[in-house]
Amino acid sequence: MELDSIKNQSFLQKTIEDWQEKAESTLKGKKIDSLHQHTYENIVLKPLYSRNDEKPVPDYPGGSDYRRGIDPLGYHTNKWKVAQQLAYQSPSELKEKLHDAVEKGQTAIAFKVSEELIETNHSLSSVLEGLYHQYPLAINAKGWQSAVLKVLAKLAEDENTADKVTGYIGSDPIALFAEEGAFSQEYIEEWKKNINKYSKSFSSLSTILIDTTPYHNGGANAVQELAIAIAEGVQYLDILQESELDLPVIVKKIVFQFSIGSNFFMEMAKLRAARVLWNRITELYGIKDEAQGMIISAETSSFTKSLHDPYVNLLRAGNEAFAAIIGGVQYLQVSPFDHLTVTTPFAERIARNIQLLLKHEAHLEKVIDPAGGSWYVEELTNELAEKAWDYFQKIEAQGGILNSLKSNWLQQEIKAVYDSKNLDIQTRKQSMVGTNVYADINEIASNPQQGNIKPFFSNGTYSLSKIEAIPARRLTEPFEELRQKAKQLEGKVGTIPSVGIVCLGELKHYKPRLDFMKGFLAAGGLNVIESKPIVTIEHAKQFILESTTSFFCFCGTNEQYELAGENILSVLKSEFPDRQFYLAGLPEVEKQPQWQSLGIKQFIHTGTNCYETLIAILTDMEVNTVEETKA
């Protein structure tokens, strides 16, 4: 073929219908609708997005609804701040670690405020001095905001640097109420006075924080987080309108804090939708121009992290940080992979370097809105914004965010979503690597770190009315409970609790289900004792006699089950009535009663609730151990 002919070749034009036809031909009779995914936000994700899904969007960041960011040149002109929260045991340690961190790439001052840190004004002053006016602050002070601002004001006054203080030292009373299960009108009034007072002292420092982290960690979906964020924003605008501050000034003092979960595109779209929603709110309040742009501080999620296989947390955090940056945040905190236990300097350094890699090696600071124009991302952004607006209106119908918490309506709504997520984890419909799939039973897991920061309202300073708290949860906790139970059992009997596998037929017959059972049982810290290929009843009886466990599971093909399994089970149950037997797989409905009458306690298959099955096995093992000890 001549070169000119090659150059003139072109691909045939194809339509969506052509793609659907081709896709369905590979789905073995299933329809294309089987590829649709339903999210916890009640959004249906299509397998393919096209130009037909395109809707008008701003031509550049900083324009129209701000979905594409608040700066026309993105991170070219305003780079996101590396705001790692440093763990510390004493103020002197925090001071040393802060100075070290800024030398190694940290670009904002971030730490959790503890009671110890503000016991004396000198402690906090010592930590802040020399840094507070050189780097922006990124501090969620919670109930200690007034104390922190007081120390900062004294420092700035002495050094005449108030105009150089930037960033945020914020507090979100409503989030604090939800977190601690207490409400105080007295505290809100004090908070309002502090916002007024320090807005005059620090013109470039934000002091109003809208923190959705407690709701995220309670299990809320992205729609709920967004709706809660703007509902809190509206509540604070209404509260502070009674103050001496002008509305545009109040809006400029607000920073939104989001936790970033593991659903990459959903979290990216969540941040974009947040700006769309806040733009709509500010327009309704008559705010114009740059004050409409939402400042976002993000942190990688604790909800998605695990005690077991902690290095996997590093990968999760990297994915979440990537989504946050593409979503257009201004501040970012990446949790160290071991932050659930005792954080090491190594883990802190790796967490900080994740951001530096994304900035300098992945070049994310050089690309303006890389997600802009993606049919999928833009459609997801629109759907989230629309659903969140509807949910915001439901909150308002309850009387606003405070009343929805006081009535317990919002807590129940969030719990319903958490229950759905938890069920998917327990049934392994959703995977958590190293925990409910691909677990290492020989791993020695550390105990979770106990929080050293007391609940703020435990000090008895304010008059309180009780509300239901939103507990901080994690997806992996049920399986961590199982692993702890297995470890306790191991301590009593001296060996890892085990289940014997009766392997029927040849290797090719039982291996698929054997592999499944190994992974299934490992999620609960249970070991597998694997028999040799069993083809006779005598082989099976010998295996039972030699095994140190009373729990056994048959593995083989459905054909092997019918050819030999029923006879072997019948004899084993007759001669070893104290043993418990399970079957890997799910027989046809009409055959299940026959297996159960022969002694099968449960069928274990891909649809089985893994957590409930394993907790039942471990509980039975514990009972057996107690009975053997008594005997």
Q: What is the DSSP string of 357-380?
A: IIIIIS-GGGSS-TTTT-HHHHHH
Residue 306 belongs to some domain of the structure: yes
- What does the block give as tokens for 517? 């059972």
Span 245-259, mean pLDDT?
A: 95
Residue 303 belongs to some domain of the structure: yes
Give the HSE-up count for residue 284: Cα atoms under 13 Å, Cβ half-sphere.
11
In residues, how long is the chain? 631
Considering the domain architecture, whether residues 500 and 363 belong to the same structural domain is answered as no
pLDDT band of residue 450 (cuts 50, 70, 90) is low
Residue 31 belongs to some domain of the structure: no
pLDDT digits (tens, 9 = 90+) for 478-518: 999 999 999 999 999 999 999 999 999 999 999 999 999 99
Considering the domain architecture, whether residues 552 and 403 belong to the same structural domain is answered as no
Of the candidates 121, 150, 120, 131, the residue with the CA atom closest to the CA atom of residue 86: 131
Label the pairing between strands 205-211 and 167-171: parallel
Query: Does position 1 have pLDDT exceeding 60, yes or no?
Result: no
pLDDT digits (tens, 9 = 90+) for 329-353: 999 999 999 999 989 999 999 999 9
Give the HSE-up count for residue 479: Cα atoms under 13 Å, Cβ half-sphere.
37
DSSP state of 358: I
Q: Domain of 590?
A: 480-630
Considering the domain architecture, whether residues 406 and 551 belong to the same structural domain is answered as no
Residue 82 belongs to some domain of the structure: yes
Residue 195 belongs to some domain of the structure: yes
Beta strands (DSSP E) in 539-617 are 551-555, 580-584, 600-604
Of the candidates 402, 353, 456, the residue with the CA atom closest to the CA atom of residue 140: 456
Angle, CA of 382, 384 and 385, to the nearest 5°: 65
- What does the block give as tokens for 585? 């797989």
pLDDT digits (tens, 9 = 90+) for 103-139: 999 999 999 998 888 877 688 999 999 999 999 999 9
Q: What is the CATH number of the domain that holds 497?
A: 3.40.50.280
User: From CA 549, how far away is CA 500, in angstroms rounded?
Assistant: 7
Angle, CA of 392, 397 and 398, to the nearest 5°: 100
Considering the domain architecture, whether residues 505 and 587 belong to the same structural domain is answered as yes
pTM of the model: 0.94
- What are the backbone dihedrals phi and psi of residue 251, each rounded to the nearest 5 degrees, phi first? -60, -40
User: From CA 120, how far away is CA 434, in angstroms rounded?
Assistant: 44
Number of domains in the chain: 2
Residue 503 belongs to some domain of the structure: yes
Residue 15, pLDDT score: 86
Residue 449 belongs to some domain of the structure: no
Q: What is the CATH number of the domain that holds 323?
A: 3.20.20.240
Residue 610 belongs to some domain of the structure: yes
CA distances 4 to 9, 10, 11, 13, Å, are: 9, 12, 16, 21
Q: Count other C-beta atoms under 10 Å from residue 426's C-beta.
A: 22
Cβ-count burial of 246 within 10 angstroms (0-12 exposed, 13-18 middle, 19+ buried)?
exposed
DSSP state of 34: G
DSSP state of 493: H
Considering the domain architecture, whether residues 323 and 175 belong to the same structural domain is answered as yes
Considering the domain architecture, whether residues 75 and 179 belong to the same structural domain is answered as yes
DSSP state of 417: H
